[in-house]
Structure 1
Amino acid sequence: MTENFVYDESVSSTYEKFTSLLGKVAEADETAAFLERLSKGVALELGIGNGRVAVPLSERGVKVEGIDNSDSMLKLLAKRTDLVKGWKGDIADFNSEQRYDLVYCVYGTFTLLSTREKQIACLRSAVEALEKNGHVVIEVRVPPLDGFVGSQKTTATFVDHENTFVNAVIHDPVNQTLTSTILWFSGTSVKRLPQRVRYVYHQELDTMAECVGLELAERWGDWTRGAFTNESKGHISVYRRNQLPVGDLPLKSS
């Protein structure tokens, strides 16, 4: 697996069905409603994909732009709408002349960045693209570390009358990575969906955010603003600029 994960043509062609089966398409309206509350009109999505969230958010009157490293996903976005501007780039290292009152990264896309340094760089780039009173929103999963035997785990993560998802995962605790392969059985066909994430706990995410001049404003367990508890499978963290003058914020290394 390459260091920088990219959704290629084989994955992007089935992405909408895959996310729909997992309930993520239905969840997009809840996500858009949550994000609309934080935006005064201009938002940037990091890892915009096919516009699953960006399109319903734009339909609420927010001007949405987005970055993605996958040509095939950006093509899907362009076919879906002309209201959302997407461009190819690296969410760990980007520059924008436009300033946004909301920068957001959802569905665990942040953890596809393979190192702590890249994750911090992503947050730093987000801050530099942010209006003075803007917000950064990050959605990540609580690391699913139960059930591993010898650093390996295989589970059936979804089953219906036609589809079965079997997920085989290897855990590297030293590097905080989960390398997984989902085998998607549908009828007589089998698709292989590989992925590697560098997981983060919410405390580490807060520390990284503080490093680039952000402070936690809100944290929720889901997009309907349910409480974040010990039982939560993920969280949505909302950050704002801290009170340091802009000149005192950490800058990108040259």
Structure 2
Amino acid sequence: MSEKFVYDENLASTYEKYTRLLGKVAEADETAAFLERLSKGGVALELGIGNGRVAVPLSERGVKVEGIDNSDSMLKLLAERTDLIKGWKGDIARFRAEKPYDLVYCVYSTFTLLSTREEQIACLRSAAEALQENGLVVLEVRVPPLDGLIGGQKTTTTFVDHENTFVNAVIHDPVNQNLTSTILWFSGTSVRRLPQRVRYVYHQELDTMAECVGLQLAERWGDWASGAFTNESKSHISVYRRTGL
């Protein structure tokens, strides 16, 4: 990746609490059930495996899971959590699998952390090349959150409870389809800063990029419960298979 976003040790140590507050830990079982259906009990590869939020419950369902991440700190958390999942350090934009997989998946909009179109296409190509003949690629991608921008900027409060407040400041670069954001996490008397840059992509462009590397859309859903993808959807789960099958 260019201008890689990497979870350092401080960010990695708070990742589980952060995702739990946002409901992502509770969602993991539903995500695993969806992915289990598509993997058919085979072997799966997660791109951006992190601390195993999804990989662990998926492996508990009988799927053999492996994963790639660019953060040593996150891979350390994964290793501390389980010894049943093989994780290794690598770039999800350009990787070469040592064996074919029944399922390659990338969740929580990790795909958009690849900050250029070229990197995103390279990731799709690497994923396609890693598939078994009848394998599938699954991507969870957020619908670009461009509403509310004024002068290419916006600041929103994304989470509040009795102890925590998340304030997200965003700057929009429409030429490069980049959103550069900083989440300020106020908790008690402490403040943490979580920076991030994404290259947003609409589902139509994603389909076109997938077609460039020999993938075609098989399914698209609005959530992990297989709800419809509509104008109101905040994200989509897109399932691709290799063309010509």
* TM-score of the pair, normalised by structure 1: 0.95
Displacement after TM superposition at 1:46 (Å): 0.2
One-letter identity of the residue aligned with 1:135 = L
Displacement after TM superposition at 1:96 (Å): 1.3
Task: Look up the match of 1:34.
Answer: 34
Counting only pairs closer than 5 Å after superposition, residues 82-161 of structure 1 correspond to structure 2 as 82-161=83-162
Q: How many residues align?
A: 243
Distance 1:59 1:16 in 2: 19
Could you say what the CA RMSD is over the residues aligned between the two structures, in angstroms?
0.8
One-letter identity of the residue aligned with 1:48 = I
Distance 1:10 1:152 in 2: 27
Displacement after TM superposition at 1:191 (Å): 0.2
Counting only pairs closer than 5 Å after superposition, residues 1-254 of structure 1 correspond to structure 2 as 3-40=3-40, 41-243=42-244
One-letter identity of the residue aligned with 2:64 = K
Aligned residues: percent identity? 86
Distance 2:25 2:180 in 1: 24
Distance 1:85 1:98 in 2: 13
Displacement after TM superposition at 1:10 (Å): 1.2
One-letter identity of the residue aligned with 1:200 = V
Displacement after TM superposition at 1:98 (Å): 1.1
Distance 2:243 2:37 in 1: 20
Distance 2:153 2:96 in 1: 39
| Alignment deviations for residues 8-58 of structure 1 (CA, whole Å, 9 cap, x no partner) | 111100000000000000000000000000113100000000000000000
* TM-score of the pair, normalised by structure 2: 0.98
Determine helix, strand or coil for the equivalent of 1:60. coil
One-letter identity of the residue aligned with 1:139 = E
One-letter identity of the residue aligned with 1:146 = D
